[in-house]
Structures are given as C-alpha cells and as structure tokens.
Structure 1
Amino acid sequence: MVWTEEQVRALVPDAGTLKRGLELARPAPWQNLGTTSRAVWGECAGSGARPYQTAVDLGEPAFKCSCPSRVFPCKHGVGLLLLLAREPQRFGPLPEPEWLTEWLSKRQTRQTPAKAENVAPPVDETDNAARQKRESQRLERMQLGAQELERWLTDIVSQGLAQLDRAPASFWEQQAARLVDAQLPGLAATVREVAGLRYTGPQWPERLLGRLGELYLLTQAFGRLDQLPASRRADVLQLVGVNVKKEDVLGRQPAVADTWLVVGLVTTEEERLLVRRAWLWGISTGRYALVLEYSFGGQAFATPLLPFGTYRGGLAFYPGTLPLRAAAAADWEYCGLRGDILPPGLAPAELLDGYARALGQQPWLRQWPATVAGVVPVLLPNGDLQLLHPASGQALPLHPDSQLGWGLLAASGGYPITVFGEWDGQVLLPISFTSAAAPVSAGI
C-alpha cells in the first residue's frame, strides 16, 4: 500500500497531536527505519538516553510506541507514518526487530476469536428483577421530563416566536439542563441546537419553528412508546438519548457481509469529545452505513478507517425504521484503497424524492447520505455555493460551513463532478468527490 499524507491525517484524532507529528515527519530524529508488507517501524530520538521504539501495524492500522503518551496514535506514530508517506525510500526492507515481532504476535493472538462454549450463564432472578425496577423508574423519570418539555414548547408557540428575540441564553440552557436531569440527553442536545438557529439567516424563524415541531412530535411519540412498533420504538428511544451498546448490537443484530468503501469521514468536537461520522457504502449490496464513534482525551477511534479504503467484513446495524448506524464485526479486514469509485450518483430531483420517502418513515431524519452526479459547483453573487445540475437546471445549496466547498469549485474546473455528502433537508454538506481533474479528493 502506498500511503498519502491525507490518509495519515485522517487517522489523527486531534490537531495538537497532528502538529507535533508533523514536526517529527523528517529523517533527522529517526534511525533504524524499516518496513515489511505488514508493518513499518523506527526509533525516534527523545529526551531520554534510549530512543522511542515506534511501530505501525499496517493491517488496521494500529500504533505502538514506548513513549509515555496515553494518546494513540502518539506524535511519534504520526510522524513515522507521515515520513513513510513523504519519503518511502528511507524505509529499507529490514528484518523485523524482536520487539516488533513480539507485539505483532500478541496482536494476532488477541484477534483470534476464542472458541465459544455452548453453556449459557446462569440467570440471577434477583439481579434481573432489580434491573427491571431500575429501568421502570428511569422510564418514569424520562416520561415526566418529556411532558415538561411538551408544556414548554406549547407555551413558546402560544406566546409567539417574537418573544424569542428577547430570550436570554439561560432560557434555553435551563430547559436543556432539566432534560439532562430527566435522563433525556438527546432532547437536551436538540434544545441547544434549536437555540443556535436564531439569527442564522433570513428564514431562521421558519426553520426554528420546524425544529420545535419536530421536538413536539418526538414528545408525543415518546408518550406512546407502548403503542409503537419495535423499529419506531427503537428510533424514539435513541433520539431522546437512550444509549444502545455496541456489544448488544453485535450480539443481537445479524451482520451484513460486504466489501465496504469509506466514502467520507467527518470529525467534529462536541463538549470535549471528538465525534467521527464515517460513511461507508457496500460495493455489492449498494447499502450505506454510518459508523459513529467518539474519542476522549486524544484516544484513537475504535475502528481504524481510511478515506476511500475498502474493508471486507460484516456490519451490524442498530435497530430502527431506517437502519443507517452500524458497528464493525470481528471479521473486519482492510483490503486496500479504491480511488476510482463513488456510489452511483443521482440527479437532484432523485435525491429529493428519496429523502422525502425516507422522511415519511423517519420524520426526525437529520443526515441522509447522498451522492449526486453530473453537477457543477457554482459561486453565486452573494458568495454562497451551490451544485448546479445542467441537464435538469436544478441546483442544491451547499452548507455554508463546508470546508470542501471551495475545493470543489477549484478542482472541477467548471466541469461536472460526482459529490458525496450529507443532505439535511436544506443544504448539502459535501464530504468527498471525484472528477476528471482530481480523480479522488476526501473531505473533512
């Protein structure tokens, strides 16, 4: 595999580690650089007498370093991989050192699944009864919180949106805090998001009213949980903030086997957490999947994923009406890069029709995977960007905060391109694209 600097950067969870890694991406601090088909390694001079032993298992990739950092990848691992991308000729085909072979062997042992025993653990009826009681008490507390939110929303609409012009930040934050106390973090996050819609454009009252309506609909659905089908019940519980454990999904949901292409990675920061949305597309099944993961304190994300990398294995999808979020099963295996394809592209009208049908099934849908083909990036007189579809004359507005918008404009050269992104019902957040001028570029 030939590494690019862009792929390495996508593996680094925070800007600080990337900056320090860039400082080490030069030959001077390194010695005994070597590589094989499965790993790359080197020794980096540090403040102590002994250099730090640094290695990368290229299969996932996974990082090892003898430095005291608890962040993976550390700056040494990032610097090593960046140096490989920039100057691969400095890495000779050397025999693997003993410390590297030992680490790789231990990793292989851990990844070999143990033989499962067909003996079910005994069921402790006392523990089961206590758990059910706790769940019942929590649900009651959540129902009371949702009812309070319903009254709050009704008051806002009855008094008119004009009052929100004078509402201080505490008006929203106090309601969000009450929802957190009621164990409804999903609703609390939505209240804070709605507060941020004020004064964000000429149509902000309409968009704010729409989001308040979605919140009200969610409180109504939550109040009727016992009347909902299982898939819709799963939607509502996850939206209000009930966490579904990854282990439960992998243990209970059937895995969909395919070769999965990473078509886009988006990393954002939320309350001291790094959040990564990784969009995958099944080459055989044609199915989209969202691998959503969190990183705290600079730790690496649980599932190593490269832009436009392909991975063979199963994905277990979280329950819901329109299952998109998924978790990688134990057979997940890296297969290489595919810079020549994106999912089949749609015209804007086809995208909007598909989104409307999806919204009819899941009315709280916020991020819908979308690939549009034959579009030309256009700069409007007011400075906004849009994707024009010359064949139909239709256009899709681009998200104003997109980091890729100007890159699309430059790389297309005025010619049609294919773009993958997230459609939220109003604007498209572009994440990756292909064009004749630039065969592959990745987004955020």
Structure 2
Amino acid sequence: MTVLGVRWTAGQVLALAPDTASRAAGSRLGVAGPWSGTGWSDEGVVWGRCEGPDGTAYRTAVDLTGAAGPAYLCACPSPEPPCGHALGLLLLWAGAGGAVPRGEAPRWAERWRAERRGIARGERAGGAAGSGPRVAAPAAARRRAERRAARIDGGAAELERRLADLLRGGLAGARRSGYGLWEETAARMVDAQAPGLAARVRELGAIPGSGPDWPGRLLEECALLHLLGRGWLGRERLPGELSAVVRTRVGLTASPDGPPLRDRWLVLARYDTADARLTTRRTWLYGTASRRTALLLSYGAAGRAPEPELPVGLALDAEVSAYSGAGGPRVALGERFAPPVPDPTRPPGVTVTRAAARYGEALRADPWRESVPVTLAAVVPQPDGETWQVADAVEDTALPLTVRARDRPGLWRLAAVSGGRPVRVFGECGHRGFTPLAVWPDGPGPVVPLC
C-alpha cells in the first residue's frame, strides 16, 4: 500500500480512521509526548509504546505492507481498528523531525508481524482449497458492528430522555445550566460510540444566549436531534437510502465505494475550519463533462495543514469515487492523470428560486442537510438594512447572506467584483441563507475566491 521511503501525509493517515472519535483521538496522540520506543523498519512495520495520563501503556504496531491495507496491533479496548493509538503512531511517523527513527523491530512486533503474515498465507492457501478460515474476519467484523450498534442504541435512548427533560423544564433553563450540561451529554454520546450525535449536542450548547432568537433556534435543533435519535432507533423500518443517511449522521463510517468517475474537475472553492484538535478542509469540485458538483473532505492534525492543496480556478484530470450513505455530494479523490492547469470553465447557474428548491429537494433525502452547493447565474450583492443579500437580476427574489458570510472579508471582495452589476456566484445555500465562496466577473476573467 505504501513505500516506506515516502512519508505519508496527515490527511492520508486520518483517512484510515473508522469514525470521528478515532480521528480526534489520533490527532491528540500524534505528538511525541506520550510515546517511547518508537521506530520503523524496512519490512514495513511501525511500532511504539504509548502511555496514557493514568499510567496505562499500550504497545502499538502497524504493518503497512498488507495486500488488503494496513494491519494494526494494540491492546486498547477500541472496538474497531485503527484505534486512536495506531493513528497517533502513524501521524508521528508521517511528521517531520525524526520522532520515529528507522531501526530493527522489537521482538514482540516482529513476532506479531510473522504470525499475521503466516495466517494470511494460510488463509490464501485454505481459500484455494475451499476451506473455511476466510469467513473468520467477516464474522468478527459483524460482531464488532453489532456491539457498536447496541452501544449507540443505548446512547440514543439516553439522549431522548435528556431532550425530554430539557423541554419539560423549559428552554429558559438551558441558558441557566451553562455549557457544562451539554458537554457532559456529548461525552456520553462519545462513550456510546456515536460521534455524530456528540457533535450535534455540542452545537446545541453554543445556542443558548447567542442572540435574540436563540430559543427558536434551539427548539429547531432539538427537533432535528430528536428526529435523528428516533431515526436510528427505528432504522430497520426506514427505506434503504434514508437508513444509510441516518447511520452516517450518527457517526458510522461511510466508504467511498462508488464507481470511479473520471472527469476534468474544476476547483470551485476551498476553505478550512478548525477546532483545538483538528483542521477540516472542504474543497468543492465541478466536473466539466459530467456537470456534477462534488465535495472533498480532508483533515489535518495538531496544526498541520490538510491535503490536498488544490488551488481555486485550476482543473485536474482525475477520478473520484462517491461515499455511500453520506447524504451529500462527498467523494474521495482517486488517481490523478495530469497536474492541475488553469481552466476558464464556468459552471452553469440557476435562479434564486431554483436554488431554494434544490435545498428543499435535498432535505427530502436528508433532513439534516445544512446546505447544498449552487451556482447563482446572475445576482447582485446589496445591503439589506443591517444585513446583506444577493438579489436575482432576473426574478424579484433574493437570498440573505449567512452570518458566516457577513463576517468574512470575502463579502467586500464580492461587492467589489460586482460593482453593482450581476455576477455569477458559487456558494452554499441552506436554511440560514447563502454563503458565497467564489465569484466570476461580468465578462471575461478568472474566478475570484471569497474564502
């Protein structure tokens, strides 16, 4: 899967994470502090010993040369590999500074490597002879999935009780309780291995007292969280596609198993969001032949910039694969056939009315969608009292800009490019309004990034 002479990027390591919680744990452990006895060998093994704050230490090893992908060894209780220790070890190995030196594998790591490669040879031989060991790995994976589903069931049921208690006591109590109550509830969802539920709970905690209309927004988000919890608990009765969306929304990992689609992909926009542990990069692409808009998500740990670094306005000849059940346009970038080059292509635009209708259509498939990507054909940015909007040049309609858009310097760049004339704008349209991400001038000229 890799040549050890070429270091991986943080994005490649974090792409192995089975869920958001493992990704966050790996990012936290991808520093030298808790590690000792680390190393990597020419045979394809990376190893180390990670000590936790309670004094518990775990031997961790990764074999990078398996035909089916990396294999992991760790004694921690994580139910689905790779665990945070394995991801942290790989991040440490991938980083600069020689924190993981080249050397000879210790006896325990070499013994594990030899045993697992012997088992792999036996399974291949047994498979050729028609024997049964090949079913052991799928059976173990099924048992892990069942155990995790049971834990999420418990977490969703507890979340339902906490939401009922909140509404029974009145929304005003949410402001008096402070953020600690929400963080404690989010921690319970992490324990239940439902990182998607935990993330939405943390978002709820930021709403009380955040503006004059916060009770209404809190009630809306509580209703959506209730809908997600009930959807998970009744997932067996849902249509297949909606069930897959619910599984992804609670935090189960989706896979980029769609058929590869080769196209000339124009980079429409790119922006990063960050918290204390992780930087998330969103890159929007447009297929000039397929006329499809796609989203690349990548992650960087401990202050590292995510990959890939694709400049806005360039196009690359490449393959992408869609994520199953992701509830949106997310794809994984596959093989690239040529370096990115400038491209004057502009995606076709729609009216404001059609953009709002697209968001409504997306909500039917995924009620938790925050926004959809749209290109507005001809709009004029203009102030609207204390806020801003983009007014359609053809229809008597307009979309308000989101608070996030109004707080960015890109708003003034958009106004300057427009100069009061209609322009074509790409962005994200949702229930909070429109966030412009790129603009093309009226007339010839390259795309101008707004983020």
TM-score by length of 2: 0.67
2:219 and 2:303 map into 1 onto residues whose CA distance is 37
1:31-75 CA-to-partner distances (Å, cap 9, x unmatched) read xxxxxxxxxxxxxxxxxxxxxxxxxxxxxxxxxxxxxx9469xxx
Matched, 1:368 2:372: yes
One-letter identity of the residue aligned with 1:417: V
Q: How does 1:235-254 map to 2 (within 5 A)?
A: 235-244=245-254, 248-249=255-256, 252-254=257-259
1:148 and 1:411 map into 2 onto residues whose CA distance is 51
Match of 1:401 in 2: 404
TM-superposed deviation, 1:335: 4.1
Q: How does 1:373-388 map to 2 (within 5 A)?
A: 373-382=377-386, 384-388=387-391
How large is the Cα RMSD of the aligned pairs?
2.5
- Alpha-carbon contact 1:71-1:299 (below 8 Å) kept: no
Matched, 1:423 2:433: no
Match of 2:6 in 1: none
1:346 and 1:319 map into 2 onto residues whose CA distance is 27
Q: How does 1:334-353 map to 2 (within 5 A)?
A: 334-338=339-343, 340-353=344-357
3-state DSSP class of the match of 2:308?
coil
Matched, 1:255 2:260: yes
One-letter identity of the residue aligned with 1:257: R
TM-superposed deviation, 1:218: 0.6
1:132 and 1:334 map into 2 onto residues whose CA distance is 41
The percentage of counterpart residues that share the same residue type is 34
2:358 and 2:290 map into 1 onto residues whose CA distance is 18
- Alpha-carbon contact 1:303-1:328 (below 8 Å) kept: no
Q: How does 1:74-223 map to 2 (within 5 A)?
A: 122=127, 123-223=133-233
Uncovered stretches (5+) of structure 2, i.e. residues with no partner: 1-93, 98-123, 128-132
1:120 and 1:289 map into 2 onto residues whose CA distance is 42
1:362 and 1:127 map into 2 onto residues whose CA distance is 33
Matched, 1:314 2:319: yes
- Alpha-carbon contact 2:372-2:428 (below 8 Å) kept: yes
- Alpha-carbon contact 1:186-1:241 (below 8 Å) kept: yes
One-letter identity of the residue aligned with 1:193: E
- Range moving further from structure 2, 136-145 or 289-298: 289-298
Match of 1:234 in 2: 244
Regions of 4+ moved over 4 Å: 119-123
Within the candidate set 278, 302, 309, 1:273 is matched to: 278
Match of 1:434 in 2: 440
One-letter identity of the residue aligned with 1:126: A
2:422 and 2:125 map into 1 onto residues whose CA distance is 58
TM-superposed deviation, 1:258: 1.6
One-letter identity of the residue aligned with 1:407: R
- Alpha-carbon contact 1:71-1:298 (below 8 Å) kept: no
1:263 and 1:183 map into 2 onto residues whose CA distance is 35
2:390 and 2:137 map into 1 onto residues whose CA distance is 57
TM-superposed deviation, 1:168: 1.2
3-state DSSP class of the match of 1:431?
strand
Match of 2:81 in 1: none
Within the candidate set 438, 442, 450, 1:443 is matched to: 450
TM-superposed deviation, 1:298: 4.4
TM-superposed deviation, 1:299: 4.0
Q: How does 1:6-45 map to 2 (within 5 A)?
A: none
Within the candidate set 292, 297, 303, 2:297 is matched to: 292
Pair 1:346–1:200, CA change in 2 (3 A): farther
TM-superposed deviation, 1:411: 2.0
TM-superposed deviation, 1:353: 1.0
1:322 and 1:353 map into 2 onto residues whose CA distance is 17
TM-superposed deviation, 1:367: 2.7
1:212 and 1:121 map into 2 onto residues whose CA distance is 53
TM-superposed deviation, 1:297: 3.3
- Alpha-carbon contact 1:145-1:179 (below 8 Å) kept: yes
- Alpha-carbon contact 1:419-1:434 (below 8 Å) kept: yes
1:65-114 CA-to-partner distances (Å, cap 9, x unmatched) read xxxx9469xxxxxxxxxxxxxxxxxxxxxxxxxxxxxxxxxxxxxxxxxx
TM-superposed deviation, 1:173: 0.8
- Alpha-carbon contact 2:358-2:372 (below 8 Å) kept: no
1:422 and 1:138 map into 2 onto residues whose CA distance is 34
TM-superposed deviation, 1:432: 0.6
Pair 1:121–1:145, CA change in 2 (3 A): farther
Match of 1:45 in 2: none
3-state DSSP class of the match of 1:420?
strand
1:296 and 1:241 map into 2 onto residues whose CA distance is 19
1:163 and 1:263 map into 2 onto residues whose CA distance is 44
